[in-house]
Amino acid sequence: MEEPGAAAPPPGPRSLLPPRDFLCSRKGQLLTAESVLSFIIFICYIASLASSFMMAPLLEFLLALFLFFAYTFKLNEKFKGLYWPLSDFLRCVTAAIIYFAISIAAVSRYGDGASKAGGVFGFIATIVYAIDFYITFNELVTFLKQGSPDSPEERKSEDEDSDSDED
């Protein structure tokens, strides 16, 4: 027989790992892919002649890692002052544009293999960030439609409720 108090295991290093449901979610997979790709691109640019491009992947890696842990530990639910979907959308849009631009520059200007590898991984990262900002944009639009006070349904109900015939 099990005791009621013995059901929960003691906290340990396993409690620091993200929950399985978040890792299997679309957002968890995208943030993981963004973090891994940004880190690989950062390493490629450090080892190449295009080392001037290393700052963008480093910042994107840190931002993706921060958002990964913020969503994992549900900081987006605790800190309501920051509009999380919009900040995530802007991060993804800027990252896609920056990765596309530096990947073109790295592939066309530099001839070493590490620059070309960083450029190719940058194009892959551009696609991953574009998918993320497309999905985030759709979620943002549905949220704004639900929470907007200027939605057509509310305007129609306000018009039906008003008895004034002012023209």
Q: pLDDT tens digit string along 124-164?
A: 999 999 999 999 999 888 877 886 555 455 545 555 555 55
C-alpha distances (whole Å) from 74 to each of 116, 117, 132 are: 38, 35, 19
**32 belongs to a structural domain:** yes
Q: What is the pLDDT of residues 37-58, one digit of tens each?
A: 999 999 999 998 888 899 999 9
Range of the domain at 143: 26-147
**132 belongs to a structural domain:** yes
What pLDDT shows up at residue 155? Answer: 47
What pLDDT shows up at residue 36? Answer: 95
Q: What is the pLDDT of residues 14-28, one digit of tens each?
A: 666 677 777 788 888
**142 belongs to a structural domain:** yes
What pLDDT shows up at residue 151? Answer: 46
**43 belongs to a structural domain:** yes
**161 belongs to a structural domain:** no
Query: SS3 letters for the chain?
Result: CCCHHHCCCCCCHHHHCCCHHHHHCHHHHHHHHHHHHHHHHHHHHHCCCCHHHCHHHHHHHHHHHHHHHHHHCCHHHHCCCCCHHHHHHHHHHHHHHHHHHHHHHHHHHCCCHHHHHHHHHHHHHHHHHHHHHHHHHHHHHHHHHHHCCCCHHHHHHHHHHCCCCCC
Q: What is the pLDDT of residues 52-88, one digit of tens each?
A: 899 999 999 999 999 988 888 888 788 877 778 888 8
**141 belongs to a structural domain:** yes
Q: Tally the domains of the chain.
A: 1
**116 belongs to a structural domain:** yes
pTM of the model: 0.75
**Residue among 44, 32, 34 at smallest CA distance from 115:** 44
What pLDDT shows up at residue 92? Answer: 94
